[in-house]
Structure 1
Amino acid sequence: MSVLANTTIEILRDVGAFLYQWYWVPLLLVYVGVIATILIENRNPAKTIAWILVIVFLPVIGIVVYYLFGQKFQKVKVFQVQDREKHTRLLRFWDQLGPLTDDYLRVLKQSIGQLSRVFTFLKRQRVALPTLHNEVKLLINGEEKFPALIEAIESAKHHIHLEYYIFDTDNIGNQIIGLLAKKASAGVTVRVIVDDFGSPKLNRHRGRLAAAGIEFVAFLPVRFTSLANSNYRNHRKIAIIDGRTAFVGGINISDRYINDGQQELFWRDTAVRIQGGAVNVLQAQFWINWHLGKGASFDLRDGYFYTTPIKPTGSAAVSFAFCDPGSVSPFNMEALLIGIAEAEEYIQLCTPYFIPSDELSTALQLAAGSGVRVELMLPARSDSFFVQHASFSFLKPLLARGVSVYLYEKGFLHAKTACIDGKLAYIGTVNLDIRSFYINFEVSSIIHDDVLCGELSSQFELDKLDSTHLTMDKWLKRPKLKRGMDSVCRLLAPLL
């Protein structure tokens, strides 16, 4: 063996011995660096502590998890810049409508009093303009939504815009793809945005869509070099047809949302069909996300905006709360907090995931403590072990202040709704959790319509018949092991 080879072996042996004895030094430096980065970011203290616990008690794995899901990536700054650029283009149109929407707000205040503050807030924060004279229809479960959506698609003359978190290539998914292809061949412009993380199957069919003339964008594609994109999800479910009809709610395009006896689990969900000037607000948001996803540019003035008829047709006032990782504030949460604060009689909330912010938990306790009937409905069995236990850890203080909690037993409750005093309805994609408030792309329609609000409240009462009323006594009688697991999972709540 040559002298060079012997020298190389000796060097490698020495390096190996050094690393074996002192491996903890570079590892410690990495840990200190990551923890210092978390502290410098000035996050919410609870989230800061949660990430530090994950990193300390899950060696190596914790750092990997933080890299994938915890960093405040440059991507957030990109969202902020792009949002500002796109919104700037809409400001001229926004300002032109200012005097008219001020009149709308005066009408709303006369109709619903201080609850109109929700609409005023959204306008002042330049989130969404209030609109009047819309027609709305409540849609319960996929059995009601999909026939209405298919009918609207079949009637399309100019364009179809779909933006969905989950778009499966199953029976209903393929049926809708077939309809879209048929309309595209007839000259209708079809654009589809799906979340890359939520719809991996459809993403694999992009060639099929392109061949059918369907323009397609996979939002925030998740690749090995961009795994952290999976932390930012486009959770919206929006359909817009000819700028006149729109659908919003919790129902994705998937067979699981249809209770036809073919699915193992009953799926309880809610959506709303909106027709009228409010569709313009959704159209503008679709346009922003289409360009964020680098879709081929198009001009909203080319027949995409709804023109208000001379004679009003509907009775519903509609606005929207939007939020995304680039939002300057959690507008969805704040719009709900204002409604809760102004409630006088009752608040009915449905959510599949309940990881409330301190602000939301406090608002519900204050409302219940001041005599408002506050009712919260959750699924009895969640599809997430950690979320299920973490959610239960937040219930005790609510129960202590008089909040009524119902656990839906018939199947999985996926509806994301609120009804306040029978005057204001929130129907959208927003879960009552930190992720929906601060991380995901979300939307909630906010509607004042006596008929729709009455139907939503009645549906809540029907769902109570399929639910167990969770009292404080029942909560305390749960096994200590489960309550202990609640407390452990709660530590991870800021990360869920």
Structure 2
Amino acid sequence: MGKIQEIRESETGKKIVKKGKSGIGRILFGRTGVILLLLLLQLGILFMVFSRLQQHVIYVYWLFALLSALTAILIINRPGNPAFKLAWMVPITIFPVFGMLLYLFVEFQAGERLLNRRLQDVEQQMRKYVLQDPDVFEELEQTDKRTSNLSRYVMEKGGFPTYKNYHTAYYPWGKDKFEALIEELNKAEKFIFMEYFIVAEGKMWNTVLEILKKKVQEGVEVRFMYDGTCSISLLPYNYPKKLEEYGIKCKIFNPIKPALSTVQNNRDHRKIVVIDGKTAFTGGVNLADEYIGELERFGTWKDTAIMIQGEAVRNFTLMFLEIWNVDEPQENYERYLDASHCYGMMEGDGYVIPYGDSPLDHENVGELVYLDILNSAKDYVHIMTPYLILDHEMITALTYAAKRGVDVKIIMPGIPDKAYAFALAKTYYPELLRAGVKIYQYKPGFVHAKSFTSDDCKGVVGTINLDYRSLYLHFECAVYLYQVPQITEVEADFQETLKDCREITMEDWRNEKFITKLTGRVLRLIAPLM
């Protein structure tokens, strides 16, 4: 069987990934194909059973049809995002019996509730360590009441305090973050926590792994966690055992299993590194060679990251330990939360709020932080995102900001990684453009950065895309910056990236291929469920 990807050298010496038929064969007949086949088989059995009911037991069918109507009424009257409700109405309307039973099957699964209950137990254990310095909050409140209100919300609903900024560094490219990460990992003396969505063997991961192995030998505690999607095609399923042999504690979060379950939608999309409790990294950069320009996929790969140092790292430490301990007994968290390293550190300007977002707590912290920036902007909001799959609230905020004179600009990829997601994103272009939102596509390749800047005083750098998966279904994280000097660097990077972009106009939309428009509009019916 051939390889998943053909890798060749370009004239510049970079590796280029070229997908071919051999890759499709590997997917179809490998572990990924088996899982997909079993999932489709389960769906097929469900559909066949309910079709038989419809054909042969007319009274049972009408009973289910009545239950379908009651289910529709239940969906409409439940609290939640209207887009998700509409997306469920489509299968229930087209397949009254099957759609209704599928919804009930999804809604009343125990897996998601069990995971949420475990997370709540861990959060309860950690609550005593989540402390907001009242002096910091009072100072912020006197500086900017609106931002202090956001700070209060993130603290009360998410459990993430606001801190005075000690040191922050912004990295406009993945290779910049990689170099800084290597430098900081080599300084580790007590512990290293790493949590990533994607890990792929290559120069980046192999370099990091060698440092982790060396640090274990020096007596440093190393914990490494990655999302279960990696074990589909990127890493061997038993990879944690290999790392354990090196002395590295390793876990797979939410492994992919060949069983229908909504909890498999809840991926760990975070990218977190915590070193000794005094240095932390996050951003869009995963542990794979395309993120640092060593492997060419979808043209030039544009990504960003941020490092923070000081007391604020505590939020990332707690975020990591929360997920790590979801299936573990309580441990002594205090030894990882010592802030004595901050004594004597030079205090920088501004405030930072490292925060996370869980898909299970029914509190959309990630989206509401973005909405707060859009609704409070006076001069501009500049955004970089790889995906643009928006709910009504986000569309309203973007268009209203533009209509009241705020300069709203969005940088999107010029070469997408997912054609279907790009087609779906383009369906939002006309409404945004008519309102005055300016959209740009990055000509050299793929933008994977997730950043907001506004009015030279507010910014966000993290893992949160502008799509349903990030805003509603994934575990995410980011850093909110207020009056931090590095905001000007994030904005400068946006402006520099803009030079390599093509502005999209209504004429471009009108000239878009019919099949692209049709595909996008059809997909929009089920966008929240994708």
Instruction: Confirm whether residue 46 of structure 1 aligns to residue 83 of structure 2.
Output: yes
Counterpart of 2:287 in 1: which secondary structure? coil
Distance 1:62 1:140 in 2: 45
Q: What is the CA-CA distance between 1:119 and the residue it aligns to?
A: 2.0
Gap runs ≥5 in structure 1: 1-18
Query: Residues 90, 303 of structure 1: CA spacing in aligned structure 2 closer, same or farther, 3 A cutoff?
Result: closer
Q: Deviations over 1:99-152 (max 9, x none)?
A: x2x321333345556344332321232431000032110012221111111111
| Matched AA of 1:172 | M
Instruction: Confirm whether residue 84 of structure 1 aligns to residue 134 of structure 2.
Output: no
Instruction: Confirm whether residue 329 of structure 1 aligns to residue 367 of structure 2.
Output: no
The farther-off stretch of 193-202 and 477-486 is 477-486
Query: Residues 319, 135 of structure 1: CA spacing in aligned structure 2 closer, same or farther, 3 A cutoff?
Result: same
The farther-off stretch of 443-452 and 372-381 is 443-452
Identical positions, percent: 27
Contact map agreement 1:134 1:318 (CA 8 A) in 2? no
Instruction: Confirm whether residue 215 of structure 1 aligns to residue 252 of structure 2.
Output: no
Contact map agreement 2:289 2:295 (CA 8 A) in 1? no
Q: What is the CA-CA distance between 1:250 and the residue it aligns to?
A: 0.8
Q: What is the CA-CA distance between 1:480 and the residue it aligns to?
A: 4.2
Quote the residue 2:138 is aligned against. Answer: 106
Instruction: Confirm whether residue 412 of structure 1 aligns to residue 443 of structure 2.
Output: no
- Give the aligned CA root-mean-square deviation in angstroms: 2.9
Contact map agreement 1:167 1:202 (CA 8 A) in 2? no
Distance 1:50 1:389 in 2: 18
Aligned pair partner of 2:339 in 306, 310, 317: 306
Counterpart of 1:447 in 2: which secondary structure? strand
Query: Residues 238, 359 of structure 1: CA spacing in aligned structure 2 closer, same or farther, 3 A cutoff?
Result: same
Quote the residue 1:7 is aligned against. Answer: none
Quote the residue 1:119 is aligned against. Answer: 151
Q: What is the CA-CA distance between 1:318 and the residue it aligns to?
A: 1.0
Counterpart of 1:108 in 2: which secondary structure? helix
Quote the residue 1:196 is aligned against. Answer: 228
Counterpart of 1:85 in 2: which secondary structure? helix
Q: What is the CA-CA distance between 1:448 and the residue it aligns to?
A: 2.2
Distance 2:298 2:434 in 1: 36
Contact map agreement 1:318 1:447 (CA 8 A) in 2? yes
Counterpart of 2:166 in 1: which secondary structure? strand
Instruction: Confirm whether residue 233 of structure 1 aligns to residue 270 of structure 2.
Output: no
Quote the residue 1:360 is aligned against. Answer: 394
Query: Residues 165, 72 of structure 1: CA spacing in aligned structure 2 closer, same or farther, 3 A cutoff?
Result: farther
Q: Residues 253-402 of structure 1 correspond to what in structure 2 (within 5 A)?
A: 253-260=287-294, 265-292=299-326, 294-295=327-328, 298-307=331-340, 308-402=342-436
Counterpart of 1:432 in 2: which secondary structure? coil
Counterpart of 2:146 in 1: which secondary structure? helix
Aligned pairs, how many? Answer: 472
The farther-off stretch of 356-365 and 191-200 is 191-200
Q: What is the CA-CA distance between 1:211 and the residue it aligns to?
A: 0.7
Contact map agreement 1:203 1:218 (CA 8 A) in 2? no
Q: Deviations over 1:284-313 (max 9, x none)?
A: 111110111x25753121244333314543
Counterpart of 1:318 in 2: which secondary structure? strand
Query: Residues 134, 194 of structure 1: CA spacing in aligned structure 2 closer, same or farther, 3 A cutoff?
Result: same
Contact map agreement 2:284 2:462 (CA 8 A) in 1? yes
Query: Residues 50, 28 of structure 1: CA spacing in aligned structure 2 closer, same or farther, 3 A cutoff?
Result: farther
Q: Deviations over 1:422-443 (max 9, x none)?
A: 1111111111111111111011
Q: Deviations over 1:166-198 (max 9, x none)?
A: 111222212212221211122111111111124
Query: Residues 58, 40 of structure 1: CA spacing in aligned structure 2 closer, same or farther, 3 A cutoff?
Result: closer
Distance 2:190 2:318 in 1: 16
| Matched AA of 1:160 | I
Counterpart of 2:334 in 1: which secondary structure? coil
Contact map agreement 2:158 2:355 (CA 8 A) in 1? no
Query: Residues 429, 33 of structure 1: CA spacing in aligned structure 2 closer, same or farther, 3 A cutoff?
Result: farther
Distance 2:54 2:375 in 1: 60
Q: Which one has a bigger Cα radius of gyration? A: 1
Aligned pair partner of 1:466 in 481, 500, 504: 500
Gap runs ≥5 in structure 2: 1-51
Distance 2:96 2:72 in 1: 16
Q: What is the CA-CA distance between 1:400 and the residue it aligns to?
A: 1.1
Distance 1:156 1:140 in 2: 24
Distance 2:439 2:137 in 1: 34
When normalised by structure 2's length, the TM-score is 0.81
Distance 1:59 1:179 in 2: 56
| Matched AA of 1:461 | Q
Instruction: Confirm whether residue 180 of structure 1 aligns to residue 212 of structure 2.
Output: yes
Contact map agreement 1:112 1:423 (CA 8 A) in 2? no
Contact map agreement 2:351 2:484 (CA 8 A) in 1? no
Counterpart of 2:222 in 1: which secondary structure? strand
Q: What is the CA-CA distance between 1:421 and the residue it aligns to?
A: 0.8
Q: What is the CA-CA distance between 1:55 and the residue it aligns to?
A: 6.0
